Amino acid sequence: MTATGRAYTELPQVFCPGAKARSFTVSTLADLKEALAAPHDSMIFLELIMDPTDTPNVLIESGLGSANLNFGPRGPQHRPGIRI
């Protein structure tokens, strides 16, 4: 488990039990270089840890669009001060 209590790097096994995958948690440039240097003989799954203020606008807009699709205009994304 990660510090957040979530084990995102285990997701490939959730979607396809027995899948051959290399999973990495990336929070620094050195972590990313290590992940990219791994053999590419299977799926590579990256969990990217970013500072919340470093989120690209396109990612925020994509998340809000998904929330609108999933929850509609009464969803949590329309509450003041909530970030999804």
Of 9, 20, 16, 17, residue with least CA distance to 45 = 9
DSSP 39: -
Taking 60 as the threshold, does the pLDDT of residue 3 lie above it? Answer: no
DSSP 78: G
Alpha carbons 21 and 26: distance in angstroms, whole number: 16
User: What are the residue ranges of helices labelled H in the chain?
Assistant: 11-15, 29-37, 57-71
Two tokens at 37?
């240097």
pTM greater than 0.85 = no
What is the per-residue pLDDT across 28-82, written as a single tens digit (0 to 9) for each? 999 999 999 999 888 888 888 888 788 888 988 888 888 888 888 777 777 777 7
Alpha carbons 35 and 23: distance in angstroms, whole number: 8
